[in-house]
Amino acid sequence: MKKARHTSVCLALSLLTAVVVFTVSGNPAAHMDTLSDEKVDGQIANSLRQDPFFGNRELAAPARFRLPMYLDALVGASLEDAKGVPSRNFSRSVAVITIVATAGLACSLFGFGTGWLSAIILAISPYFLAYSGLAGTEGDVFAACFVTLALWAYVSYLQSPTPAKWLLAGCMLACAIGTTIFAVYLLVVFWLLSATMYSEPTFKLSRMPNHTARLHRLLRWQLGVISVTFALAVLHRFPPGRMQLDRVLPIVRMAAICGWVALAALWTATVSYVVVVGVLSRSREERFWGMAAFAFCTVFVLMPVHLLDPSIAKELLIKVGTWDGGFPFGSIMSHVRLYSGIFLLKMTIPLGIVAIISIVYGVFNERNDGRWRSIIWAILLFLLLLCSLPNRRSQNLMAIYPLIAIVTAAGLAGITRRVRELRSGPITTLWLLVAAGSVGYLGFESWRAHPNYQQYGADILASRFDWKWLAPNPAAIEISFRRRPMASSR
């Protein structure tokens, strides 16, 4: 009861912090015209508002996952005006939820103080403020939100497994994947956590085997409906040359829509069955794979266009097969230069050093202190994934930036605890002043950088740090929303 009260207070203070910071700072992207990815996302959202099943197949970026566009369409936000104010304001609302979720995850792992401090660090970080004001997938704030929520839900489920928490973790995992395909890596994180952490329900499982068999049957039916519906969608999207299109295609289209309706009905029945009956498998392995199957089905229930338009899957397979003309880890030095610079400079150098030290500490200490395990593995595996990609983007770190804020706050809290164990008043006072000064300096730098948060640290990174220890002749790193003009050929 006491822990629940602390969590509630932490969430309330984090919400207040986020609202105050975002009200004072306003939207830093308000002075910017609509960016290219925002335009594409806005067109997709408008098409999904008109046809939520198929959208507009002629739009660009077919491999982009559509959950942010569905949410934009649902709330009525759009990018039809010059600066996309409604959709950008919706992204700011999602950023507030992200800050609260960050506090919740940190509080569940490290306690009240670390939870609130994580929210403060994230809320006043120039990097987070810069990208949280952009709409759709341009700033990746939806990825930051749902990756954090998914990890929080799964950690909460592992701490005390219940059917409701099992469902919530599966739904949040599906939302994370629906925001960015990169969130599939969370399956690896969840599997590792499930395999290495003791997690058993506290209630009796006397009649669970029969209930579990029915649950697995419902999941298999959903997977079967997905297979049949996707086959109909392929037939509708890529019909054979001899088919009488005028007569058959409308029937195939309607059959595919009916397939999605059947999937949604089975999914609803599954959720109702788990909640009402209280189904939870005895085996941790069965619970994990059942959650993975449930999340897979949830992706298609939330985003029917991914099931009914196979061109999205086709484009995604082409990108994976060709790797955009490169090969895995072919540009690893370029990626390391960019992301290490963001780690070190975008949260100010003092807190950047604390973040790096905390990650190193967590890597070597997660065996003895399981609180670090979920955060450290989520950060390291995502960084490994980013470094394997052929292209780099400064906003790619947004998906795990809340986790970086958590390890930074946990590092400050851990050092504070060790200093207090020395029982030296002057040393404790000095360290508290240093820690408070570091967080205050971050707030001062954010205030000084307003509203051009995206430029914060770029001049230092480009002019003072060339990172020659990583690669020969490295190019200066530009972290900006706008490209520099190309030099004349003369």
- Tell me the pLDDT band of 347, cut-offs 50, 70 and 90: confident
Q: What pLDDT was estimated at residue 59? A: 65
Let me know: does 342 contact 396? Beta carbons within 8 Å.
Answer: no
Of 222-236, 325-339, 377-391, minimum mean pLDDT range: 325-339
- The CA distance from 458 to 97, in Å, is 28
pLDDT (mean) for 14-37: 81
- Tell me the pLDDT band of 490, cut-offs 50, 70 and 90: very low
- The CA distance from 464 to 469, in Å, is 14
- The CA distance from 335 to 341, in Å, is 10
Q: What pLDDT was estimated at residue 429? A: 92
Sign of the four-CA dihedral 267, 269, 272, 274: negative
- The CA distance from 270 to 276, in Å, is 10
- The CA distance from 335 to 195, in Å, is 31
Q: What pLDDT was estimated at residue 84? A: 55
- The CA distance from 12 to 400, in Å, is 23
46-88 tens-digit pLDDT: 888 888 898 876 665 667 788 988 988 888 755 555 455 678 8
Check pLDDT > 50 for residue 471: no
Of 155-159, 378-382, 450-454, minimum mean pLDDT range: 450-454
Q: Would you give the DSSP letter of residue 390?
A: S
Q: What pLDDT was estimated at residue 458? A: 67
CA-closest candidate to residue 91, choices 141, 48, 49: 141
pLDDT (mean) for 189-218: 78
Rounded to 5 degrees, what angle do the CA atoms 352, 354, 360 make? Answer: 105
pLDDT (mean) for 455-471: 52
Q: How many CA atoms lie within 13 A of 489 on its CB side?
A: 0
Q: What pLDDT was estimated at residue 243? A: 61
pLDDT (mean) for 199-228: 81
Let me know: does 231 contact 259? Beta carbons within 8 Å.
Answer: no
Q: What pLDDT was estimated at residue 461? A: 54
390-405 tens-digit pLDDT: 888 888 899 999 999 9
Q: What pLDDT was estimated at residue 335? A: 84
Check pLDDT > 90 for residue 375: yes
Q: What pLDDT was estimated at residue 282? A: 78
Let me know: does 75 contact 50? Beta carbons within 8 Å.
Answer: no
Q: What pLDDT was estimated at residue 321? A: 78
Let me know: does 390 contact 331? Beta carbons within 8 Å.
Answer: yes
Check pLDDT > 80 for residue 416: yes
Q: What pLDDT was estimated at residue 48? A: 87
Query: Would the pTM count as exceeding 0.85?
Result: yes
Helix (H, G, I), strand (E, B) or coil at 26: coil
Measured N-to-C along each axis, helices 401-421 and 349-365 cross at an angle, to the nearest 10 degrees, of 80
The share of the chain scoring above pLDDT 70, in percent, equals: 85
Q: What pLDDT was estimated at residue 203? A: 63
Q: What pLDDT was estimated at residue 281? A: 81
Q: Would you give the DSSP letter of residue 400?
A: G
Q: What pLDDT was estimated at residue 45? A: 85
- The CA distance from 476 to 462, in Å, is 5
Greater confidence, 415 or 248?
415
Of 76-85, 130-139, 167-176, 366-375, minimum mean pLDDT range: 76-85
pLDDT (mean) for 21-48: 80
Q: What is the mean pLDDT of the chain?
A: 84
- The CA distance from 374 to 408, in Å, is 15
The pair of three-digit structure tokens given for residue 420, joined into one six-digit string: 């207090």
What residues have CB less than 8 Å from 212, skipping those under 6 apart? 279, 280, 281, 282, 286
Check pLDDT > 60 for residue 288: yes
Q: How many CA atoms lie within 13 A of 355 on its CB side?
A: 29
Check pLDDT > 90 for residue 228: yes
- Tell me the pLDDT band of 472, cut-offs 50, 70 and 90: very low
Q: What pLDDT was estimated at residue 82? A: 45
* Residue 451 burial by Cβ neighbours in a 10 Å radius (0-12, 13-18, 19+): middle
pLDDT (mean) for 258-262: 96
- The CA distance from 144 to 403, in Å, is 9
The pair of three-digit structure tokens given for residue 320, joined into one six-digit string: 């994976």
Furthest-apart CA atoms within the chain: distance in Å: 86
CA-closest candidate to residue 92, choices 199, 18, 189: 18
296-328 tens-digit pLDDT: 999 999 999 999 988 888 888 888 877 777 778
